[in-house]
Amino acid sequence: MTAPLFHLEPGALDHVGVAEVITLAGSEGHHAATVMRLQPGEPVLLSDTVGRRAEGRVRSAGSGQLEVEILSLLQEPRLLPRLVLVQALAKDRRDLQGVESATELGVDAVIPWQAERSVARWKAGREAKKHAEWVAMVRTAAKQTRRTTIPEVRPLHSTSGYLQAIKAAGAEVGVVVLHETDETSLAQAIAALQAPGGHASQAPGAPAHQLTELHLIVGPEGGISDREIELLTGAGARIARLGPTVLRSSTAGPAALAAAQLLLGRWDWDTGAGHPEQSA
Q: Which of 214, 221, 186, 7 is nearest to 97 (CA)?
A: 221
Helix axes 249-263, 94-104, angle to 10 degrees: 20
pLDDT at site 268: 84
User: What does the alpha-carbon distance between residue 10 and residue 29 come to, in Å, rounded to a whole number?
Assistant: 16
pTM, 2 dp: 0.88
Distance separating alpha carbons of residues 166 and 237, to the nearest angstrom: 9
Given this model, what pLDDT does residue 19 score? 95
How do beta strands 275-279 and 66-75 pair?
antiparallel
Q: What is the pLDDT of residue 180?
A: 83
Relative to beta strand 66-75, strand 157-158 is unpaired
CA atoms within 13 A on the CB side of 62: 9
Structure confidence by residue, pLDDT tens digits, 232-280: 999 999 999 988 888 898 999 999 999 999 999 998 865 545 555 655 5
Provide the percentage of residues in the chain whose pLDDT is more than 70.
Answer: 90
Domain positions in the chain: 5-75, 82-199+207-264
Q: Which architecture characterizes domain 82-199+207-264 according to CATH?
A: 3-Layer(aba) Sandwich (3.40)
Burial 265-278 (b: 16+ CB within 10 A, else e): eeeeeeeeebeeee
The CA distance from 165 to 203, in Å, is 21
Q: Tell me which residue of 75, 73, 72, 71 sits closest to 58, measured CA to CA.
A: 71
> What are the beta bridge partners of residue 53?
47, 74
Q: For the beta carbon of residue 12, count every other beta carbon within 10 angstroms.
A: 18
The SS3 assignment for 127 reads: helix
Backbone angles phi, psi at 67, to 5 degrees: -100, 120
CATH number for the 5-75 domain, one of 2.40.240.20, 2.40.128.110, 3.40.50.360, 3.40.50.2300? 2.40.240.20
Residues in the chain: 280
pLDDT tens per residue, range 176-204: 999 988 789 999 999 999 886 555 444 44
- Asked if residue 171 lies in contact with residue 209, where contact means CB atoms within 8 angstroms, the answer is yes
CA dist list (Å): 105 to 77, 123, 179, 236, 255: 17, 29, 21, 26, 9
pLDDT digits (tens, 9 = 90+) for 124-176: 889 999 999 999 999 999 999 999 999 999 999 999 999 999 999 988 999 99
